């Protein structure tokens, strides 16, 4: 992730741009996209409301940088999870669902942020490269399971992400609170559910 500056205390010096991105992830994880704003990020860092605008022209430009970092990090997390899962293609794809749950729970930056509609008008080659690489990773994992066509591959990726995002959202909404499930528990459930998607397509 581009942002490595701790955000649990006031910002003092160093790379303000990286600190803004790091604080953005914390804010997204706590409050979600709807409450995300430049002013809220500035308050978290205890800098002036004008300070972020030295690096980002507006909310969408900051969100664009967060999206790029999130896509890059999520792609790396999915690759690592797939490699850990072993050689079975179905297990490797299902592992992506678990990686998604863990990453998005920690950062708040799932596909709803990475592919936020308000970013489509921003011409940013870096963000597009990271999002394209993320989708290529998922498509390759899905195709390796033996899908018969590109359309089937896309549908399998959609289903896998839908499962992962669904579990992430239910966890964030407190659906699993009564059972005191950990993030790892939820990630494991997402992996099991995603794994079931594959046999019917083989």
Is residue 196 one of the residues assigned to a domain? yes
What CATH number does the domain containing 185 carry?
A: 1.10.357.10
Q: What range does the domain containing 78 cover? A: 67-201
Same-domain check for residues 51 and 77? no
Is residue 62 one of the residues assigned to a domain? no
Is residue 95 one of the residues assigned to a domain? yes
Same-domain check for residues 87 and 6? no
Is residue 183 one of the residues assigned to a domain? yes
Same-domain check for residues 75 and 32? no
Is residue 172 one of the residues assigned to a domain? yes
Same-domain check for residues 51 and 135? no
What pTM was estimated for this model as a whole? 0.86
- Give residue 1's pLDDT band: very low, low, confident or very high (50, 70, 90): very low
Same-domain check for residues 123 and 196? yes
pLDDT digits (tens, 9 = 90+) for 7-31: 444 454 568 999 999 999 999 998 8
DSSP string, the chain: ----S--SS---SS-HHHHHHHHHHHHHHHH-GGG--HHHHHHHHT--TTGGGGT-SSHHHHHHHHHHHHHHHHHHHHHHHHHHH-S-HHHHHHHHHHHHHHHHHHHS-SHHHHT-GGGTTS--HHHHHHHHHHHHHHHHHHHTTT-SSHHHHHHHHHHHHHHHHHHHHHHHTTTTGGGT--HHHHHHHHHHHHHHHTGGG-
Same-domain check for residues 49 and 116? no
Please give the pLDDT value at position 199.
65
Q: What is the mean pLDDT of residues 122-130?
A: 92
pLDDT digits (tens, 9 = 90+) for 71-92: 999 999 999 999 999 999 999 9
Same-domain check for residues 79 and 157? yes
């Amino acid at each position: 992730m581009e942002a490595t500056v701790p955000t649990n205390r006031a910002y003092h010096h160093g790379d303000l741009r990286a600190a803004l991105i790091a604080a953005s992830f914390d804010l997204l994880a706590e409050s979600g996209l709807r409450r995300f704003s430049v002013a809220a990020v500035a308050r978290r860092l205890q800098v002036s409301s004008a300070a972020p605008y030295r690096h980002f022209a507006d909310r969408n430009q900051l969100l664009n940088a967060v999206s790029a970092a999130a896509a890059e990090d999520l792609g790396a997390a999915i690759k690592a999870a797939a490699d850990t899962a072993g050689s079975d293609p179905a297990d490797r794809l299902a592992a992506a669902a678990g990686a998604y749950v863990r990453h998005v729970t920690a950062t708040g930056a799932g596909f709803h942020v990475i592919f936020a509609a308000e970013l489509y008008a921003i011409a940013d080659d870096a963000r597009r490269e990271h999002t394209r690489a993320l989708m290529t990773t998922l498509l390759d994992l899905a195709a390796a399971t033996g899908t018969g066509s590109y359309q089937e591959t896309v549908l399998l990726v959609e289903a896998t992400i839908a499962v992962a995002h669904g579990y992430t959202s239910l966890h964030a909404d407190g659906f699993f609170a009564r059972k005191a499930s950990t993030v790892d528990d939820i990630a494991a459930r997402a992996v099991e559910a995603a794994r079931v998607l594959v046999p019917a397509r083989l």
